[in-house]
Chain A
Amino acid sequence: MFYKPKKAVYSQISRRRFLELGGYGATMLGTGSLAVGLNSTIMSTRVQAQSSDDAKWKQFAGSKLVFLSENTPPSFAIREKLKYFYDLTGIEVEILTDDLPVVQQKAGIDLRSGTADYVLQYAQDKPIGAPFADFYADLTPMLGDETLPQDPEGYGDEVWFESFLDACGRFYDGDRVIALPYDAAIACTFYRKDIYEANSKDFEAEYGYRMEFTKDSTWQNVLDFATFFKKKKDAGAEGPYGYAQHQGAFAWTTQLDIQRMCFANGRWLDYDIDDRLGSRTPGATNWGDEQSVLILEKFKALADVSHPDNLANGTLELNTVYQSGNIAMQVQYHEFAASVEDEATSLAAGGKTGYAPCPKGVPDWIRNGGEAVNGTNCGIGGIAINKNASEELQRAAYIFAIWSTSADNQYEVLKGLGGTPTRKSVLQRPDVIAAQQRPSSMPNALTFEPVYDFGIKQPNFVLGPKIPKANEYHSIIASTTQRMLAGELSPAETGAELKSQLDALNEG
């Protein structure tokens, strides 16, 4: 019925012979796999790994790592470059990205349950680093280990921007480093130069000074600007509000929002602890003192003349409000400059936006004897290694950590998707220097002067508070401050309520 070739293979090989050949094939495959496996094991011995640079990079070939990260530009850009990393090391890396609150939850469950589903984790300083610091591997034994590849620039404090390594890498103990700075979000002022210029005369006639924003502009100026625009809105004029706050759903950024004003006025801090390392036992909070109540009053006054969606605007939503031209100014994280300068989506693009340091404190608002500074805070995202993973996996993860934070990679991310470098050397490259002026091929670079040359320098920079219960602390600050802004509590009651809840939290 069917055509049957005369020399068909099956007719020349008996069934027994066919099975024998299959057996040989399987044996050869098994031997080959064993050889590859043994080779990997042999290469991973530290003596062998020292033999050459190539061997150091490839000593964990065949390993697989999962990196849980926030959905920010560095991770997107690095995901595109994973093939280069695989070719270099033979290590397969999967990068999973999500919103920071989700990353926080997944990381917490993984770390606290003793598993290592995510060997590499994006450890944002306060929301992830502070509560989970003990669950991450100490990187110091690996930094400088001759059996591992090392970054020629090194990892000392001097190669990163000021305080970045402290912010994301050191918690409660100066000897351990649990993360390398991977990306950064530093607050600075975004303001509409065109709107300021258009309103300057009217404003000057009413307030006696020009409407402009410089490094010496204070929170009182911001309050004046916001009041001016609010009055115009109330009178029925078309145009933007003057200011908007980050008082929306994400508790951490809500806390950062009020922290800037508090620190600017007398360098006021929530706790009398080391701001760089934090403390496991922060003790009684300073909320409720005269200084904090005065700042709460000013914060409420600013809210009353700001954009009406204050209590719904998280950081992303606030940036949308700014992009859509509904506010003339925002204090925002410098990583958002790339989206603000995107002419396809932003009405504030095309040279309309100016960048300046965060507003300065007002001497008249200071009761604690401190100085008025340009209070600037941050979120420094570190890349950390899960301590639950095996030693070999931790070492393989270390290779990815130093590769992903290398200057070359940071430069590529800045150039491609608008990253935020953490290594100083990136800013010394000629095209990055050129990009700090308009027209810029790297819009985030427009913020570098107010951020890296001013905001993160002392006495302006505030890192903490780093405390183990950071997330509940953020939640209490956010909800209580929101209650004040909603008119449920007076500033004095808010201070007292915060004192009561935070002291109970740290005692419990």
Chain B
Amino acid sequence: MTETLTGIDMSVRAPEDRFRARKVSTEVEARPLSAALPPPGRLNPAARKAYYFYLMAPAIALLAFISLYPFFWLIVMAFQKGDMGAVEWVGFKNFIDLASDDRFLSGWVLLFRYSAMCLFLQVSIGVLLAVVVNGSRYERFLVTALLMPMMMAPAVAGLLWLFLYNGTFGWYHWIFHSLGLLGSGSILSSAKTAMYAIVLVDVWQWTPLITLIALAGLKRVPRDQIEANMVDGASPFRNFFAIVLPNLYPVLLIAVLLRFMDNFRFIDHILVLTGGGPANATKILPVYLFEVAFKFFDLGRGAAIALVLLVVTIILGKILVGVFDRPTAGGR
């Protein structure tokens, strides 16, 4: 086919002209094309690497002081037993003891269960919401409304839901109970349901982040690929899985990584809602770490738990990046 809607014969034009010709058309051109443009030529020659290092040196020194120095002490403390000031070197004892600490081991299991549930629900619902919101007449309003839970401090969100879940006057308790989803006891009063309660709070608060990131990704999905697929007769459903989702992988990677690490760090709402109970049912590892370090003041054991947690987080983060970093059909 050589004729286009504008009536210009595309076959006889150079690629640059073809691009320019497409630019005059309407909304399609607001989106990038699959093939990347060649980078513009450099106006200035590259500076020596040392120059950049000197520029960054003060910031690096400051960062090193505020993060590496405590990290160094964390490592030191992991091999000690006792209080600040009065310590005793115990070698690897703190780490060895962890292997027989039931609360440490169950903390891992609960953390993975909690993290998996949160990530699955947040990514699924977040992407779905992004698709619904994208291009909607009320997009701006919906985005603003979705952002509201995220703007709340996690501890405040925890308090809010604590009241909503309250078995005496909680509104959500009443709804769950009326729907037959709950018995007469509060969702937080049972070891079987308390974990779902805290997952729900996390999903409520942080799904909008995934939605926001996915929405940004949706804006960058190349329209020409979708159009081509549609010309080939693909359904919108097929389009979503074959074109949209693969193109969303890079942004979803960031979102999943962020939330994955947050699940290992944010325990405010858990502390407010259950304190790790009942019966240790929500005592995920970071909650146990907090308890050991700042309630029992067993700093050596706390440091050992923190180090193990850090190492595992790094390894899992690398694995996650590896999984998402595979080349995709979208041609990232």
B residues near A469, Cβ cutoff 8 Å: 296
Q: Which residue of B lies closest to A131 (CB)?
A: B297
Q: Which residue of A lies closest to B81 (CB)?
A: A508
Among B110-118, B187-195, B240-248, B253-261, the stretch that binds chain A is B187-195
Q: Which residue of B lies closest to A105 (CB)?
A: B294
Query: Do the beta carbons of B84 and A324 come within 8 Å of each other?
Result: no
B291 contacts the other chain (CB 8 A): yes
Query: Do the beta carbons of A249 and B274 come within 8 Å of each other?
Result: yes
- With A478-B277, A482-B278 as known contacts, state yes or no: A112 contacts B186, CB within 8 Å: no
Q: Which of B167, B169, B192, B295 contacts A312 (CB 8 A)?
A: B167
In Å, the complex CA distance between A34 and B295 comes to 45
Query: Do the beta carbons of B169 and A324 come within 8 Å of each other?
Result: yes
B residues near A251, Cβ cutoff 8 Å: 275
B32 contacts the other chain (CB 8 A): no
Query: Do the beta carbons of A471 and B295 come within 8 Å of each other?
Result: yes
A320 contacts the other chain (CB 8 A): yes
Q: How far is the CB of A231 from chain B (nearest CB, A)?
A: 15
A339 contacts the other chain (CB 8 A): no
Q: How far is the CB of A135 from chain B (nearest CB, A)?
A: 9
Across chains A and B, the number of contacting residue pairs, with CB separation under 8 Å, is 99
Q: Which of B190, B274, B275, B294 contacts A486 (CB 8 A)?
A: B190
Query: Do the beta carbons of B275 and A247 come within 8 Å of each other?
Result: no
Chain A 301-326, CB-CB to B under 8 Å as 1, else 0, gives 00000001111110001001100101
Q: Which residue of B lies closest to A321 (CB)?
A: B168
A residues near B83, Cβ cutoff 8 Å: 112
In Å, the complex CA distance between A326 and B283 comes to 29
Q: Classify chain B: how many residues form its interface, as a range.
A: 20 to 34
Q: How far is the CB of A200 from chain B (nearest CB, A)?
A: 25
Query: Do the beta carbons of B279 and A479 come within 8 Å of each other?
Result: yes
In Å, the complex CA distance between A326 and B281 comes to 26
Query: Do the beta carbons of B295 and A113 come within 8 Å of each other?
Result: no
Interface of B is mostly: loop
Q: Which of A113, A308, A471, A482 contacts B279 (CB 8 A)?
A: A482
In Å, the complex CA distance between A258 and B298 comes to 26
A114 contacts the other chain (CB 8 A): yes
Q: Which of B84, B183, B188 contacts A112 (CB 8 A)?
A: B84
Query: Do the beta carbons of A309 and B294 come within 8 Å of each other?
Result: no
Query: Do the beta carbons of B184 and A311 come within 8 Å of each other?
Result: no
B185 contacts the other chain (CB 8 A): yes
Q: Classify chain A: how many residues form its interface, as a range.
A: 35 or more
B225 contacts the other chain (CB 8 A): no
Q: Which of A309, A310, A472 contacts B296 (CB 8 A)?
A: A472
Query: Do the beta carbons of A309 and B84 come within 8 Å of each other?
Result: no
Q: Within B269-320, which residues are at the interface with A (CB < 8 Å)? A: 274-281, 283, 291, 294-298
In Å, the complex CA distance between A309 and B167 comes to 7
Q: How far is the CB of B281 from chain A (nearest CB, A)?
A: 8
Q: Which of B84, B276, B278, B295 contacts A114 (CB 8 A)?
A: B84
B residues near A114, Cβ cutoff 8 Å: 84-85
In Å, the complex CA distance between A232 and B169 comes to 22
B166 contacts the other chain (CB 8 A): yes
In Å, the complex CA distance between A125 and B26 comes to 75
Query: Do the beta carbons of A101 and B296 come within 8 Å of each other?
Result: no
Query: Do the beta carbons of B185 and A247 come within 8 Å of each other?
Result: no
B residues near A483, Cβ cutoff 8 Å: 191, 279-280
Q: Which residue of B lies closest to A134 (CB)?
A: B83
Query: Do the beta carbons of B186 and A475 come within 8 Å of each other?
Result: no
A396 contacts the other chain (CB 8 A): no
Which A residues have a C-beta under 8 Å from some C-beta of B?
101, 104-105, 108-109, 112-114, 131, 247-251, 308-313, 317, 320-321, 324, 326, 469, 471-472, 475, 478-479, 482-483, 485-486, 488, 508
Can you offer 10 A-B residue contacts whose CB atoms are under 8 A?
A114-B84, A114-B85, A308-B167, A308-B183, A309-B167, A311-B188, A311-B190, A312-B278, A472-B298, A479-B283
Known: A308-B184, A482-B191. 20 other contacts (CB 8 A): A108-B297, A114-B84, A251-B275, A308-B185, A308-B186, A311-B185, A312-B189, A312-B274, A317-B166, A320-B169, A469-B296, A471-B295, A471-B296, A472-B295, A478-B277, A479-B280, A482-B279, A483-B279, A485-B278, A508-B97
